[in-house]
Amino acid sequence: MLIYTYVDNSNVFIEGQRVSAVRKGLARNIIEAMNNKIVDYSWNIDYGKLHEFLCGENKSEIGCAKLWGSPPPKDSFWKLVERKGFEVKTYERNYSGKEKRVDVAIAHQITKDAYTLIDKHDSEISLVAGDQDYVPLVEDLVNSGFLVMVVFWEHASKDLKEAASKFISLDPFLGHLAY
């Protein structure tokens, strides 16, 4: 089975920092952490471990591993992520510092790949994001016969979890995915 993986970097990274903040007692629960913008800045994701967790160790089973985000101040970061096995796509933030175009770019790429590249009988699509914006995409793919796994922190959109063929929570792996 080939695995096609699509990662919303900012989403998985920032929400991982929130989960870590709750674990460390900086917030009582994830809702408080979200509402008060509480994050654990000391928690960082290990992209090699994330890639292995999502794609496995067998390179012949990887259809693709793509990661989207906005460039941080140091460009070498994206080179590191590429060395860990991800194909990187970046978009500049807007004037107010908000990340734009990433969700649409991910949805576009998944749709394009699903209908031109992915064999729905021998493949799995893994979406690493938690936004409910992805619900229509996931519902459409599942209804078309694709196996779509959503991998994210436990507080992912309830509708997105229900739309997916399978949901895997990253919460139990918080420590493993950190460096």
Give residue-wise pLDDT tens across range 117-166: 999 999 999 999 999 999 999 999 999 999 999 999 999 999 999 999 99
Which pTM does this prediction carry?
Answer: 0.91
Structure tokens belonging to residue 157: 């959109």
**So what's the pLDDT on residue 58?**
74
Residues of the chain with pLDDT under 50: 73
Question: Can you state the percent helix, strand and coil of the chain, rounding each to 5?
Answer: 45, 20, 35
**So what's the pLDDT on residue 75?**
61
Asked if 165 and 147 count as a contact pair (C-beta separation under 8 A), the reply is yes
**So what's the pLDDT on residue 57?**
76
For residues 19 and 29, give the distance between their C-alpha atoms in angstroms, rounded to a whole number.
8
**So what's the pLDDT on residue 1?**
87
**So what's the pLDDT on residue 97?**
66
> Tell me, which fold does domain 2-11+45-173 have in CATH?
Rossmann fold (3.40.50)
**So what's the pLDDT on residue 83?**
83
**So what's the pLDDT on residue 72?**
60
